[in-house]
Amino acid sequence: MKAAATTLFALLITSTATAQSVANLKTTPERTRYEETSTHEDVMAFVRAVDAASDLIHLETMGTTNEGRAIPLAVVGRGLRDGSPEAVRASGKLRVYLQGNIHGGEVEGKEVLQMLLREIAQGQHGNWLDSMVLLIAPIYNADGNDNFGPRNRGRQHGPLKGMGQRPNAQGLDLNRDHMKLESPEARGLISMLNRYDPQVAVDLHTTDGTIHAYHLTYSPPLHPGTDARITSILREQWLPQLTNNVRSKSGWEFYYYGNVMGRDTARTWATFDHRPRFNNNYAGLRNRFGILSEAYSYATFEDRIKATRYFVDEVLDFARANAPLIRRTVEQLDQQSIVGQNLPVRSDFERAPQKVEILLGEVIREANPYSGDTIWRRADVKKPEMMWEAGTFKGTHFRAAPRAYFIPPEVVASAPMRVLEQHGLKIRTLTRDTTIAVEQFRIDSTRVAPRPFQGHQERTLWGDYEKANVTMPKGTAVIDVAQPLGRLAFFLIEPESDDGLVTWNYFDTMLEGRKYFPIVRAR
């Protein structure tokens, strides 16, 4: 008994020492009076420390960046034997992915997620872990983060000693790469989504643009092809409850992301883009709850961290309280076939029927004491203005989802097939020549954008489907649309999709001199 008591005492002493060491662990902003932000090396040292200090935290990676930096993924859960996808899935708990720093100069999420890990290592937030496993990636764009420059992010108020750049080391905006998967970071992210399958994905950003009075703005998935059950829970329950809670606790205002467009009576609070190249929109087309946050660029760095932390806490509180609802919704969507549904392959803004009150603001111009450049600081001013709101999208051109897509052997051996595989679609192969009643897309015209975007001149096709009976040879790949990722498959493959593989030039060489698109659909 004495030996057992001695062992227990030693464990308590070790636990106390570990808690103290974690309590003394500071993020770079905390150590520098919020004048600096963490480098990749800083983040790695921090997450290794919390990993060593807590059995609740398992440090994994999502892969490496273009310049070879590890992309850390902290797997946080109670009762996990390790941080593997198998252990996480076996827990049966809601899986929530939290991502920071997709744009290297937008750094609040990176700092908040480190703080969150420290608190969990100290034994806080145990109620979250009753019903959830957290997948935390504080520094997704590690190369962009470490490319510090004195004029990155222009007028943003801090960190005063500088921050990273928006794109990755390839010059790609990682928040435009979710469909084409040209960066190692995006391929690592999608691989993680396929392996761990989080039902909720939270992407933490910082705004630029309109001078408004909100400390943070947010967005659910914006693609109108997202199932309404996801957007209704977010717009009718999750985000309104979050907004009310933050207002009552801090007095700060949060609202849907937007910028002021137009003049005079046409002034409109307009959101960004519906296309799935963006993280939150992509998550929606995977039947998952995608949530974006944008801390206000002209609030001080310290206040942006606070606002992002309020947001993360409220997101997780709702997820904990409603874990069964979220899990059940995702399971139902994965089991439900979209075959035969009319889905929008092209979309445009949808203006709300009535004007809404938008809180505009003011800024104070100051000199950055280190660079001498003018930066803007949020003034505590709220100027309500009634204006139109374009916060959602509506389809302008629709196609019915087919039973299956048939991909001929010449396409199977090419780049488009590799991308479809990387997205995690279930694919089977014909073992013999098979005659099938299909629809083949007749190409009437095509246009290539005159200006390059992300290294591409985006392509648009026009045409229509014709019925035919064709013999598909042995080796043809088949993607059945009645699968959990059938919605994503539809928007990747449809030739008229405004953000599919055609858009990103994956079929350019195959379209030369052809009357029909090479992939056909089962009638």
For 234-268, the three-class secondary structure string (H helix, E strand, C coil) is HHHHHHHHHHHHHHHHHCCCEEECCEEECCHHHCE
Q: Mean pLDDT throughout 131-152?
A: 95
Q: Are residues 340 and 436 in the same domain?
A: no
Q: Mean pLDDT throughout 49-59?
A: 98
Pairing of strands 254-256, 216-219: parallel
Q: Are residues 301 and 433 in the same domain?
A: no
Position 151 confidence tier, pLDDT thresholds 50, 70, 90: confident
Average pLDDT value for the chain: 95
Q: Has residue 149 been placed in a domain?
A: yes
Q: Are residues 112 and 237 in the same domain?
A: yes
**Last residue in a domain, options 323, 346, 369:** 346
Any bridge partners for residue 440, and if so which? Answer: 466
Tokens 């496993």 appear where? 133
Q: Has residue 463 been placed in a domain?
A: yes
Domain span at residue 161 reads 2-346
Q: What is the CATH number of the domain that holds 251?
A: 3.40.630.10
Q: Return the axis-axis angle of helices 2-23 and 40-53, rounded to nearest 10°.
A: 160
- pLDDT at position 352: 97
Q: Are residues 50 and 181 in the same domain?
A: yes
Q: Has residue 477 been placed in a domain?
A: yes
Q: Mean pLDDT throughout 358-366?
A: 98
Any bridge partners for residue 472, and if so which? Answer: 434
Query: Residue 16 pLDDT more than 70?
Result: no
Q: Has residue 378 been placed in a domain?
A: no
Percentage of residues in the chain having pLDDT higher than 70: 96
- Among the residue ranges 13-27, 116-130, 259-273, 481-495, the one predicted with the least confidence is 13-27
- pLDDT at position 13: 35
The beta-carbon contacts of 423-426 under 8 Å, at least 24 apart in sequence, are: 423/181, 423/190, 423/194, 423/485, 423/488, 423/489, 423/492, 424/190, 424/193, 424/194, 424/485, 425/479, 425/483, 425/485, 425/488, 425/489, 425/492, 426/479, 426/480, 426/483, 426/485
pLDDT digits (tens, 9 = 90+) for 69-107: 999 999 999 999 999 999 999 999 999 999 999 999 999
**Last residue in a domain, options 314, 330, 346:** 346
Q: Mean pLDDT throughout 202-221?
A: 97
The SS3 assignment for 437 reads strand
Q: Are residues 337 and 420 in the same domain?
A: no
Percentage of residues in the chain having pLDDT higher than 90: 94
Q: Are residues 216 and 280 in the same domain?
A: yes
Q: Has residue 488 been placed in a domain?
A: yes
Q: Are residues 10 and 140 in the same domain?
A: yes
Query: Residue 4 pLDDT more than 70?
Result: no
For every residue of 489-501, DSSP letters joined together read HHHHH-TT-TTST
Q: Which residue has the higher pLDDT, 2 or 329?
A: 329
- As given in the structure block, the two tokens for residue 54 are 């807590």
The SS3 assignment for 89 reads helix
**Last residue in a domain, options 316, 346, 376:** 346
By the 8 A CB rule, do 375 and 368 touch?
yes
Q: Are residues 211 and 299 in the same domain?
A: yes
Query: Residue 3 pLDDT more than 50?
Result: no
pLDDT digits (tens, 9 = 90+) for 441-465: 999 999 999 999 999 999 999 999 9
- pLDDT at position 149: 84
Q: Has residue 397 been placed in a domain?
A: no
- pLDDT at position 317: 98
- pLDDT at position 400: 98
Tokens 């209704």 appear where? 232
Q: Has residue 142 been placed in a domain?
A: yes
- pLDDT at position 403: 98
Report how many domains make up the chain.
Answer: 2
Position 20 confidence tier, pLDDT thresholds 50, 70, 90: low
User: What is the rounded CA–CA span in Å between residue 27 and residue 204?
Assistant: 17
Q: Mean pLDDT throughout 233-240?
A: 98
Closest Cα partner for 363 from 207, 175, 485, 516? 207
Q: Are residues 329 and 437 in the same domain?
A: no
Q: Are residues 32 and 175 in the same domain?
A: yes
Q: Are residues 170 and 239 in the same domain?
A: yes
Query: Residue 17 pLDDT more than 80?
Result: no
pLDDT digits (tens, 9 = 90+) for 478-492: 999 999 999 999 999
Q: Mean pLDDT throughout 192-199?
A: 98
Closest Cα partner for 46 from 103, 111, 101, 97? 111
Q: Are residues 108 and 221 in the same domain?
A: yes
Q: Has residue 368 been placed in a domain?
A: no
